[in-house]
Amino acid sequence: MRVRCRPRHAAGLAALAAAGLALAGCGSIDSSEADLQAGKRLFIQSCGSCHALQDAGTTATIGPDLDDAFRASRDAGFEETQFAGITRRWIEIAQAPMPRNLVVGQDADDVAAYVAAVAGRSQRSAVRPPPNLDQAPRDATATIDATPSEPDEGE
């Protein structure tokens, strides 16, 4: 697969990686040609036995809940094309127990575009609720000092 790295995506992708999404590629796919209905059908068939995704009505817990996986990044304003690129890449380079290339070609694009379109839009997870900052220890809500510190001597 040809992976394109566009500089304008660099910051967002770094943040996605920091948000805990295992990110092995740096491309995004053009999902404007994707068939979301086909993607949904294929997702239920090929992915639903392991992944929960509210829009698809799947509830399996072998793999991560994909609403939870993408929610924080969606809330932070990342683009759907980036989610599609990550999902497409996962399909190709999946780690066991997730089999690789369960769907290929246009089917894979359709699944990736479908996941990107719906994941993380569901209600907040009941399994792992978002942090309640009011009840967090004081340290966790302390204002971050953004002033760069002086480099250590010798660097």
CB of 141 to ligand HEC, least distance (A): 26
Task: Retrieve residue 103's tokens.
Answer: 């769907």
The DSSP bridge partners found for residue 126 are none
Report in angstroms how near the CB of residue 95 gets to ligand HEC at its nearest. Answer: 4
**Contact present, 150 and 88 (Cβ < 8 Å):** no
Q: How many residues does the chain have?
A: 155
When the beta carbons of 106 and 144 are compared against ligand HEC, the nearer one is 106
- Applying CB under 6 A, the residues found at the interface with ligand HEC are 21-22, 46-47, 49-51, 62-64, 66, 69, 87, 90-91, 95, 97-98, 102-103, 111, 115
The span from the CA of 46 to the CA of 48, in Å, is 6
CB of 155 to ligand HEC, least distance (A): 34
Nearer to ligand HEC, 24 or 136 (CB): 24
CB 64, min distance to ligand HEC, A: 4
Instruction: Considering the complex, state which of residue 77 and residue 97 has its C-beta at the smaller distance from ligand HEC.
Output: 97
Nearest distance in Å: CB 52, ligand HEC: 11
The residue (of 49 and 59) whose beta carbon lies closer to ligand HEC is 49
Instruction: Pick the closer one to ligand HEC by CB: 9 or 42.
Output: 42
